[in-house]
Amino acid sequence: MKKLFVLSAVLFCFSCQNRTPQQSDSALEKDTVEVSVVPEKIPQLPDTQFVSVNGYEYEIKVFDSLHSGEIDTLTSFLEKVDGRLTFRGNAMRNADFGGKVSGKPDTVVIEWTFTTETDTTNTKYGRWGGGTGWTGQPLYINWPDSMAEKFKNSNAGLTENFGKKEIIFGSLASKVYFLNFETGKKSREPIDVNNPIKGTVSLDPLMNGKLYVGQGVPARLPYGQITLNLFNQTVKNTKMAEESAWRGWHASDSSPVRVGQFVFRPSENGTIYKYWVQDTVEILHSQMKYRKKGSGGPGMESSMAVYRNYGYVADNHGNIVCVNLNNLKPVWIYNNFDDSDATPVIEETDSAVYVYSGCEMDRQGEAGKSHFVKLNALNGEKVWEYSEDAKKYQSGGKHFDGGYYATALLGTGNCDSLVFVNYVANEDGQNGYFYAFRKNDGTLKYKTKLKCYSWSSPVGFLNENNEMFVLTGDTKGYIYLFDGLTGELLFSRLTGINFESSPVVVGNCAVIGSRGNTIYKLRVGN
């Protein structure tokens, strides 16, 4: 048995010097590329700490003495797989998904629909039903032949509809579903995970059959972070509620991310967990929790974005935190004023690395400001900020906060100079806008009003002329298609019931779930 020990220390922050369609009975397609695990010589970023960390305290615990915390390779395995295996597709959370269309599309067509089950359990937080919630992005994977054969030879719950191209998503129905991408039929039997899932599940890119899942609501105890084995359909509880957390809410909406030999999982209990993973073995290596001195621990609903050995996560106290993933020490902390659930997005240019992030209007009372910022990713310095009036909307004894819930989309092609995001305004009811900011100075190029507010993150498509088009949905159930450069509305139609979830893009199609139990495969253009 591996010997484990616990090293616990409270480290108070200090100032340091600044450094800068095939079915299972059909012939298999030609094998997709296997993941290369040959390390690339990517330089590590320095182990440093900036003045912005002053005023915060943090605690790091190391549980595993047999494995160094140093990341062995910064190779981005997620981008070497034919698929989209985590929220927004890659570790930097900036994938454009490679969406392709012809000409100037002006229509969006439903190719298939799938209906999830409904969880009717009465909880203190209500009934959660089925379909998908926020962020709820489906995954897409085109399995290599070797993996498809392993599934067929194991107890993987395959149906007659299993094909190499598979859609995977967690549901509010307390189950993980698997669909044939081409047909929308169940490719495996769903796996019951005992509690509703709101966030985006994450598939390990090293083809070990591990699916990382966060439970979003404690309909049944215990709840927290779990891992599914797709070879035998089993569920493993990897981290459950713990008394030592600085926040008592142990849900996990964050989409886990693999870097080197480790998987990182931020939690809403204010703790970042670091797991050592190899083949079937998964060990809690270390964890870090932090808070502003004199305050409670902030929870993290955002997913962690990663650039080399730095991880970036936002929390519900408004902090944007950069962490050295080798030792989990904070590098810098930026105060973005208010609750920040949207995932930070990283942009790497020839001369610099940036982080984009927006906050909500939650902790300021009935009205206030929301802030969308661009930061220097290496030192946390603000490049620009766009501030906007926002307010709460009261309905049925509940309040709905304004601001940014959607994760930003970096422009590409003829929109390379822009960044897109959905904004909840609540200025005349529950309304919102689709925004396009100029990357260089943060000025608003245009905004287009939506039928209702949107928590769903926009996705992009390029045509043969490198022109970009943006697809998004809102919480009333409308689907929109915009010309990215001009903001021209090319298509709008009431399609479903409440698109809180973000879509995944494959070719000229997007798959998106709704709160109305229905999952849609949409085709953009004719």
pLDDT at 126: 86
Q: What is the pLDDT of residues 135-144, one digit of tens each?
A: 999 999 999 9
First vs last C-alpha separation in the chain: 59
CB-neighbour burial class of residue 474 (10 A; exposed 0-12, middle 13-18, buried 19+): buried
Question: Residue 243: which residues within 8 A CB-CB, separation 6 or more?
Answer: none
- DSSP annotation of 414 reads G
- Kindly tell me if the per-residue pLDDT of 315 is higher than 60: yes
Q: What is the pLDDT of residues 90-118, one digit of tens each?
A: 999 999 899 999 999 999 999 999 999 99
Between the CA of residue 458 and those of 412, 461, 470, 479, 485, what are the distances in Å? 13, 10, 6, 11, 14
| Total length of the chain | 526
Q: What fold, for 7-29+47-70+77-524?
A: Methylamine Dehydrogenase; Chain H (2.130.10)
Q: What is the pLDDT of residues 11-48, one digit of tens each?
A: 333 333 333 333 333 333 344 445 555 567 799 999 99
pLDDT at 35: 54
pLDDT at 211: 98
Q: What is the pLDDT of residues 150-184, one digit of tens each?
A: 999 999 999 999 999 999 999 999 999 999 999 99
- DSSP annotation of 150 reads H
pTM of the predicted structure, to 2 decimals:
0.92
Query: What mean pLDDT is reported for the chain?
Result: 91
In 3D, which of 48, 89, 55, 93 has the Cα closest to residue 334?
55
pLDDT at 8: 38
Q: What is the pLDDT of residues 381-411, one digit of tens each?
A: 999 999 998 888 877 777 789 999 999 999 9
Amino acid occupying residue 515: R
- Percent pLDDT > 70 in the chain is 92
Dihedrals phi, psi of 401, to nearest 5 degrees: -80, 150
Q: What are the structural domain ranges in the chain?
A: 7-29+47-70+77-524
Question: Residue 492: which residues within 8 A CB-CB, separation 6 or more?
Answer: 451, 478, 479, 480, 481
pLDDT at 2: 35
pLDDT at 222: 87
Q: Which residue did the predictor score with more confidence, 41 or 333? A: 333
